[in-house]
Structures are given as structure tokens and as C-alpha cells.
Amino acid sequence: MQQKVLIIEDSVSSISLLKKLVEMAQLEPVLATTLTAAKHLFMHSEPEDYLCAIVDYDLPDAIHGEAIDFAVQSYLPTIVTTARLDEDIRKSVLSRDVVDYIPKENAQMFDYLMRLLGRLEKNKTIGVLVINTKRAERNAIAALLRRHNFITYECATAADAETILDKHSHIKLVFVDSEIQDKPATLFISWLRKQYAKEDLAIIGLASDRNNLLSARFIKSGANDFVRKPYHLEEFLCRVNQNIELIENVETIRRTANTDYLTGLPNRRHFFYTVNKMQRNQPAQQALALLDLDFFKSINDTHGHDAGDEVLRVVAKRLGVICSDVIIARFGGEEFCVYLPDFTPEEAIQRLQHICRKIAEKPVLFEQTSIPVTVSIGLTTQNDHNIQSMLTTADKLLYQAKHNGRNRVVHD
């Protein structure tokens, strides 16, 4: 379901700009020009339907930011916009539990708002762990992070932190205070860093002003960043966002490097990474198959390269459905690989014959043309504990499948 954004704003030009921005972010704007109208609109809604509220500080029936209080008390993450930003207003806004404030001074600020909406959406799946002996301090940080839609976890000891991190793989950021109960913070950070790479888990150290040397010690022990207490709200949030965005960027690069651009399947590199990892457990049984589309060159020659691409995409999709419990990859060109861990030879043969039938069963439709597709498969079920040599065997069997007439499985 498309999430809503409650916009409480009375300026006509800002309304049209905000509405456009919210729509561009694939969200549904719900407009109110006064606090009274907002209350009326929200009366029959659940906070869960809304991603957030964007609230003007100064409204005809709420000149001192009362609409902000309404949004916050309605459990909506609240972003404040304001045409005037003097120190008093800034303080008044930040004294409330808002996500952020945006002065309506230039177009850049609306870019910032766009990014903020994107972050609020993405943060819903990101976990943050706060480790601090002092309950009040860790509660305050966790509450601040929850306002930004993060899923938060709190604990006082390194031992509890280990358990929480083990259990929740969506935790991407950890705040480690200089005061944790059962271990010096720097020791804990360096232990943590050995378990989790910098690009998988960001660690931000926290310590008070008195400990001037701690920032360097934290970072040398493996922390990504450091925040000095008492922290400045805006700086704190900037650091959180920067560290999370860095991890997301690395994830995007990784995903791109491991995915075949045409079919969306894992590529050869990712296949070897995953399978080699599984090999460490020395599986008692494993099978491996190479699949190659038949007469694919003639499909390209007859129907064009775009049709060939569509055939590859459809075959990959069918493989993805039939092989959701095993490892598949596009190896390149019109060749795919399937790795079946813990499959008996009989089970593997059955599965590959099913694939062969399913691919041939239905032609691929491309621009009203029906293109028949078949696949030849070489399958080795002899587990010799060496993937490279299993690939060589599967390749020889594939050659036999082609030689014997195609559209078949040849196994050993």
C-alpha cells in the first residue's frame, strides 16, 4: 500500500511544491491548510498509514508551532518547514520531538526534503544498536533514532550486544559509549571489528568532552566515526545518515558486481563465492549442472538480438521459480549453472529433467511472435568435493547432450 504524507501548510506555492515532491517520492500527499483541518482529516486515520508529516511552523490557527505538537502527539515522524528561521524558532522547533526542520529559503532545501523522505522510508528496515551503561542516555538516543523510523535495540553490556547482533542481521549501525559495563569500550570495538567488516556494520563511538583522546583511540580500534557528548542534534543525525549511506552505497556496488545485468540472476563471480562458502562444510552430497540454450544463435539471427535478450530473461525467470531452493547463476552468453547441495543423484536428475521439460513446454512470446526454446543439460551427481572438476565433468556431459540431439539431460 502506498504510504501517505500529511502536509499541513497554508502557502499556495509551498503546497504545490511539497505535493509534487511527495508524489515524486512515490508517496500519497494528504493536504490540510490549517491545524483544524488536519485534526479533522486525521481523525479517521491510523498513524501507520502515514510515513510522516510535513508541518509549517506558522499556520493561521497555530502561530507558535502548535501543529507540530499535534503531529508529534499523533505519533507521526514530523518534519517542520518554516519561512522564518531565527534562533528562537530554531530552539522552539528542536525542543519538540521532530525529525528535522527545513527553512524554506532556497530550492536546495527541497532537495534535502526529498532525501529525507527517502531516508524515512529506507530506515524502516534498518536496525541500530545503542550500547551504554546509563539507561537514560541510551533511551534518549534510541528515541531520537526511532523518530527517524530506525528499528532500535538497547543494552548495557558487551555480552548482551553480542547476543543482539547475532540475532538481528539487519543491524547496520552500533553506538558504543565509552561507558559499557563489562569491557573497556576500545577493546569491545576492536573485537566487534574483527567480527564485522567496516562496510557491513558502522560503529560510532560516543564519549564526553573530558575524554579528549578517546576519539582517536575509538577510531584506531575500528570505529567508523565518533560523536562527542553532549552532542549537537543536527551533527548527530548527519553522522548517522552519512554512515548508513556509506554502507548502503557499498551494498549497491556489491549487488551490481554480483548480478547479471540482463537477467538479474547472480553472475559467475557470485556463484563461486556462494558455492565456495558452502564447500567449507564439506557437503556429503552435491550435484552440479550446466544448461545451454539450443540454437540460440539462430534465435538471434531469425528474430533479432532483442528477442534473444527476452528469451534469456524469460528462461532465467523460469529457472528462478523452479530453483528457488538451490544456487543458480548465468555463467555468460546463453549458459546457466545450477548447484544442488544435499541432493541425492535421483533428486538432482528429477529436478533437472523437470527444468528441461518446463523450458520446452511454453514458447517465449516476443512482440506477438512465439519463439520455441529448448535447453541441453549436462549434470554431474558424483560428488568429488571439487567444484572446478565437477564443472569440467558437467561441461563434457553437456557436450554429449548437444551431440545426442539437444533438449535433454545427460548425467553420469
Residue nearer to ligand GTP on the CB measure, 218 or 366: 366
Q: What phi, psi does 368 have (nearest 5°)?
A: 70, 5
- Tell me which of 191, 231, 272, 295 binds ligand GTP, using CB under 6 A: 295
Does position 372 interact with ligand GTP (CB under 6 A)? The reply is no
Minimum Å distance from CB 376 to ligand GTP? 7
Binding test (CB under 6 A) with ligand GTP, winner from 10, 137, 309, 412: 309
Q: Which of 141, 293, 329, 338 binds ligand GTP (CB under 6 A)?
A: 293
- Distance, CA of 295 to CA of 331 (rounded, Å): 17
Stretch that binds ligand GTP, among 148-156, 200-208, 278-286, 294-302 (CB under 6 A): 294-302
Q: What are phi and psi of 199, to 5 degrees?
A: -90, 0
Q: Based on CB atoms, which residue is closest to ligand GTP, 120 or 398?
A: 398
- Is 260 a binding residue for ligand GTP by CB under 6 A? The answer is no
Under the binding rule (CB under 6 A), the answer on residue 292 touching ligand GTP is: yes
Sequence-ordered list of residues with C-beta below 8 angstroms from that of 378, at least 6 positions apart, any chain? 289, 290, 393, 394, 395, 396, 397, 398, 399, 400, 401, 410, 411
CB 32 within 8 A of CB 38: yes
Closest CA to 115 of 132, 137, 99, 135: 99
Q: Which is nearer to ligand GTP, 30 or 312 (CB)?
A: 312
Cell numbers describing residue 1: 500500500
Position 294 contacts ligand GTP (CB under 6 A):
yes
Contact call for residue 297 and ligand GTP (CB under 6 A): yes
β pairing state of 171-177 and 151-155: unpaired
Q: Toward ligand GTP, which CB reaches closer, 183 or 402?
A: 402
Q: Is 305 in the site for ligand GTP (CB under 6 A)?
A: yes
Q: Which of residues 388-407 bind ligand GTP (CB under 6 A)?
A: 402, 406
- φ, ψ of residue 374 in degrees (nearest 5): -135, 165
Q: How many chain residues touch ligand GTP (CB under 6 A)?
A: 17
Q: Does 262 bind ligand GTP (CB under 6 A)?
A: yes
| CB-nearest residue to ligand GTP | 308
Gap between the terminal Cα atoms of the chain: 50
Cβ nearer to ligand GTP, comparing 125 with 298: 298
Helix ranges, 290-383 (H): 296-303, 305-322, 345-361
**334 near ligand GTP, judged by CB under 6 A:** yes
The alpha helices in 178-258, defined as continuous H runs, are 185-195, 214-221, 233-258
- Residue 198 identity (one-letter amino acid): K
Is residue 362 within the footprint of ligand GTP (CB under 6 A)? no
Q: 70 or 271: whose CB is closer to ligand GTP?
A: 271
Kindly state whether residue 228 participates in binding ligand GTP, applying the rule CB under 6 A. Answer: no
Cell matching residue 273:
563465492
> Is residue 333 a contact residue for ligand GTP (CB under 6 A)?
yes
Query: Does residue number 385 form part of the binding site for ligand GTP (CB under 6 A)?
Result: no
Say whether residue 77 binds ligand GTP (CB under 6 A). Answer: no
In whole angstroms, what is the distance from residue 379 CA to residue 233 CA?
A: 60
Of 65-73, 91-99, 122-130, 304-312, the segment contacting ligand GTP by CB under 6 A is 304-312
Q: Which is nearer to ligand GTP, 26 or 298 (CB)?
A: 298
Secondary structure element (H or E) that encloses residue 6, with its range: strand 4-8
Rounded to 5 degrees, what are φ and ψ at 350? -60, -45
| Integer Cα distance of 268 and 219 in angstroms | 36
Report yes or no: 57 and 11 within 8 Å, Cβ to Cβ. no
Contact 267, 259 (CB under 8 A): yes
Find the binder of ligand GTP among 218, 236, 271, 296 (CB under 6 A). Answer: 296
- Among 18-26, 99-107, 278-286, 296-304, the segment contacting ligand GTP (CB under 6 A): 296-304
Q: Using N-to-C axis directions, what is the helix angle for 233-258 and 268-279, rounded to 10°? A: 100
Q: Is 259 in the site for ligand GTP (CB under 6 A)?
A: no
Pairing of strands 369-371, 364-366: antiparallel
Q: How far is the CB of 319 from ligand GTP (least distance, A)?
A: 15
Q: Kindly list the residues in this chain that would bind ligand GTP in the complex (CB under 6 A).
A: 262, 292-298, 300, 305, 308-309, 312, 333-334, 402, 406
